[in-house]
């Protein structure tokens, strides 16, 4: 109970700083924290990536298994995205079954990947109606210092970009790599007292009344949106955030997701 | 199995069900349809049949989940197993957990939660028949049910989806359009304040299509708001004696 007071103190701190044109870590309102991306760090996984977004750290691993397709899509492989907010990553996380936060995180990342057709699911078919690749994309949060969505989404695409299909394990022959057709990037912004702030920290997330994730593709089109938070937003604010999201996504894509052609 | 592209979504400027691009499906709203609940609403949107009930404000359980400053809104979106083509396994799945969260956040801004510290306001939405757009129907129903329950509110929340089919931005997708269309974007808003309280999108839209869709949805929410308002007024207009029935039983 005593911690609630501290929450209010931190909220006021963030809001006071913003009103003076500053952020707690000295960044500009539209500036990301430093991003680092490491690929292929878990050998047991068929694809993996670790993203650091300032002090936020997220590990994404992809495993491929063989299973049955869904009856209504017998020629398509299956992508299953899951997120775990393990208690090691934050004092607020508790062990137990997935809660609405982890489910939302997984589903927003999943939405971006599906919306832009990153993976050609037909390519994941081994035997029509019988055997397809099941692609398990697991998001493992290691250190939560805000904006898990953007870190997880970047890690997800990076992990997908360097998948090795485990054909031998199942006595199959086939393509060893998986073509990734687009590079959706998630950009999350919050609105605090009418100010738009990109890449929020935990304190900024808590101080914000609204959060919007804008997912956009290489061609600048949108492949997903998600508003969270218990307050209303103006149309102009949303339109501004969408434009800003597309712009920021371009910068991140250019720096981290360019595939050598 | 039909694939995107094989269906002719737009023919002579009309959609598969004969609607124009900016036309809503038929909407039917009944207020106060359940006896035990403090407030309730039955909402039909085309072939969607949705029921919402509100309980509370009442004591929040478990107590550690209480908020000392304001009431907590609980929202449960649940699909009946028979509401869809392939039977849905009963109980919450990941989709319904996410929809519950988004719907709760869509309603939070209008509920005067600070009037009831430590209390719970519980909203239960049951999808009896599903035909695309159930979350928007659920939010519309819940908003009316909250008003019916007498929960103090700043305003009503109205919700609708827009999407893209056959290259066109259209209002209120039906099941075929939702399954095989190019994008789906549900929004909720406080119609009289032009304030958006929920926004999601999946599929693929250009920035211009997004802005066009947002405008289309915002306009339709005004229409839905009028229907919600009319339904609420209608309930307290008809028969004086039936209106204030004893709800303690």
Please say if the pLDDT value at position B248 is more than 60. no
Mean confidence (pLDDT) of chain A: 93
- The answer to whether the CB atoms of A227 and B199 lie below 8 A apart is yes
Average pLDDT over residues B107-129: 96
Task: Quote ipTM for the complex.
Answer: 0.80
- The answer to whether the CB atoms of B98 and A107 lie below 8 A apart is yes
* A129 backbone φψ class: left, alpha, beta (φ>0; ψ -120 to 50): left
Domain boundaries, chain A: 26-256
Mean confidence (pLDDT) of chain B: 92
Residue with token string 């969260």: B101
Over A12-62, what HEC string results?
Answer: HHHHHHHHCCCCCCCCCCCCCCCEEEEECCCCCCCEEEEEEECCEEEEEEE
Question: pLDDT digits over A89-140, tens only?
Answer: 998 898 888 999 999 999 999 999 987 789 999 989 999 999 999 999 999 9
Per-residue confidence (pLDDT) for residue A1, from 0 to 100:
42
| Integer Cα distance of B221 and A78 in angstroms | 36
Task: Name which residue leads in pLDDT, B246 or B191.
Answer: B191
- For residues A65, A70, A71, A75, the Cα torsion angle rounded to the nearest 10 degrees is -70
Q: Which two tokens stand for residue A80?
A: 């299953």
pLDDT band at B5 (very low <50, low <70, confident <90, very high): low
| Integer Cα distance of A133 and A127 in angstroms | 10
Burial class of A84 by CB neighbour count within 10 A (0 to 12, 13 to 18, 19+): middle
Per-residue confidence (pLDDT) for residue A7, from 0 to 100:
84
Top residue of B97, B163, B188, B213 to mutate, by most chain A CBs within 10 Å, is B97
Q: Are A109 and A164 in contact (CB under 8 A)?
A: no
Question: pLDDT digits over A202-255, tens only?
Answer: 999 999 989 999 999 999 999 999 999 989 999 999 999 999 999 999 999 999
Please say if the pLDDT value at position B6 is more than 80. no
Per-residue confidence (pLDDT) for residue A3, from 0 to 100:
62
Question: pLDDT digits over B95-114, tens only?
Answer: 999 999 999 999 999 999 99
- The answer to whether the CB atoms of A222 and B102 lie below 8 A apart is no
pLDDT band at B1 (very low <50, low <70, confident <90, very high): very low
pLDDT band at A6 (very low <50, low <70, confident <90, very high): confident
Angle between helices B207-235 and B134-148 (to 10 degrees): 30
Q: Quick one: how far is CA B69 from the chain centroid?
A: 27
Per-residue confidence (pLDDT) for residue B133, from 0 to 100:
96
Please say if the pLDDT value at position B18 is more than 80. yes
Query: Which positions 20-79 of B are in contact with A (Cβ < 8 Å)?
Result: 68
Average pLDDT over residues B184-201: 97
B193/A contact by beta carbon, under 8 A = yes
Q: Which CATH number fits domain B22-239: 3.40.50.2300, 2.60.40.10, 3.30.930.10, 3.30.230.70?
A: 3.30.230.70
Per-residue confidence (pLDDT) for residue A176, from 0 to 100:
87
Top residue of A191, A215, A230, A236 to mutate, by most chain B CBs within 10 Å, is A230
Top residue of B86, B121, B143, B207 to mutate, by most chain A CBs within 10 Å, is B207
Three-state DSSP state, A106: helix
Question: pLDDT digits over B37-96, tens only?
Answer: 999 999 999 999 999 999 989 999 899 999 999 999 999 999 998 899 888 888 899 999
- For residues B113, B114, B119, B121, the Cα torsion angle rounded to the nearest 10 degrees is -10
Task: Name which residue leads in pLDDT, A151 or A2.
Answer: A151
Please say if the pLDDT value at position B2 is more than 80. no
Average pLDDT over residues B193-200: 97
The fold for domain A26-256 equals Ribosomal Protein S5; domain 2 (3.30.230)
Three-state DSSP state, A108: helix
């Amino acid at each position: 109970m005593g911690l609630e007071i501290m929450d209010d103190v931190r909220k006021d701190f963030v809001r006071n700083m913003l009103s003076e044109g500053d952020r707690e870590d000295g960044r500009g309102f539209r500036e990301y924290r430093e991003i680092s991306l490491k690929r292929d760090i878990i050998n047991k996984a068929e694809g993996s990536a670790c993203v650091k977004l300032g002090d936020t750290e997220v590990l994404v691993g992809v495993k491929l298994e063989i299973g049955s397709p869904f009856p209504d899509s017998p020629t398509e492989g299956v992508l299953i995205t899951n997120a775990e907010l393990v208690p090691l990553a934050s004092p607020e996380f508790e062990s137990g079954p997935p809660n609405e936060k982890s489910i939302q995180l997984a589903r927003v990342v999943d939405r971006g990947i599906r919306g832009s057709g990153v993976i050609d699911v037909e390519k994941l078919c081994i035997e029509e109606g019988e055997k397809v690749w099941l692609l398990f994309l697991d998001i493992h949060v290691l250190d939560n210092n805000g904006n898990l969505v953007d870190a997880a989404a970047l890690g997800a695409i990076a992990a997908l970009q360097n998948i090795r299909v485990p054909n031998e394990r199942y006595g199959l022959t086939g393509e060893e790599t998986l073509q990734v057709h687009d590079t959706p990037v998630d950009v999350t912004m919050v609105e605090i007292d009418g100010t738009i702030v990109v890449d929020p920290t935990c304190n900024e997330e808590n101080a914000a009344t609204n959060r919007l994730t804008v997912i956009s593709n290489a061609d600048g089109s949108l492949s997903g949106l998600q508003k969270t938070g218990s307050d209303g937003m103006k149309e102009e604010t949303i339109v501004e955030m969408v434009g800003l999201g597309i712009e920021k996504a371009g910068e991140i894509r250019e720096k981290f997701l360019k595939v050598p052609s | 199995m039909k694939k995107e592209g094989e269906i002719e979504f737009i023919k002579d400027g009309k959609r598969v069900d004969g609607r124009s691009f900016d036309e809503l499906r038929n909407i039917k709203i009944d207020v106060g349809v359940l006896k035990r609940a403090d407030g309730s609403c039955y909402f039909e949107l085309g072939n969607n049949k949705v029921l919402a009930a509100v309980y509370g404000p009442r004591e929040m359980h478990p107590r550690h989940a209480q908020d000392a400053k304001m009431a907590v809104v609980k929202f449960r979106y649940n699909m009946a197993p028979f509401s869809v083509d392939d039977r849905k396994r009963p109980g919450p799945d990941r989709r319904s957990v996410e929809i519950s969260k988004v719907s709760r956040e869509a309603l939070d801004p209008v509920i005067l939660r600070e009037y009831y510290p430590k209390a719970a306001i519980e909203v239960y939405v049951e999808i009896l028949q599903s035909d695309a757009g159930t979350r928007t129907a659920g939010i519309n129903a819940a908003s009316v049910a909250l008003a019916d329950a007498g929960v103090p509110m700043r305003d009503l929340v109205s919700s609708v989806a827009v999407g893209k089919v056959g290259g066109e931005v259209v209002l209120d997708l039906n099941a075929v359009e939702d399954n095989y269309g190019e994008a789906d974007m549900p929004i909720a808003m406080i119609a009289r304040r032009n304030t958006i309280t929920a926004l999601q999108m999946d599929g693929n839209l250009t920035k211009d299509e997004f802005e066009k869709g947002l405008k289309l949805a915002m306009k339709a929410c005004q229409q839905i708001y009028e229907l919600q308002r009319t339904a609420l007024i209608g309930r307290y207009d008809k028969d004086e004696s039936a209106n204030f029935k004893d709800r303690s039983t």
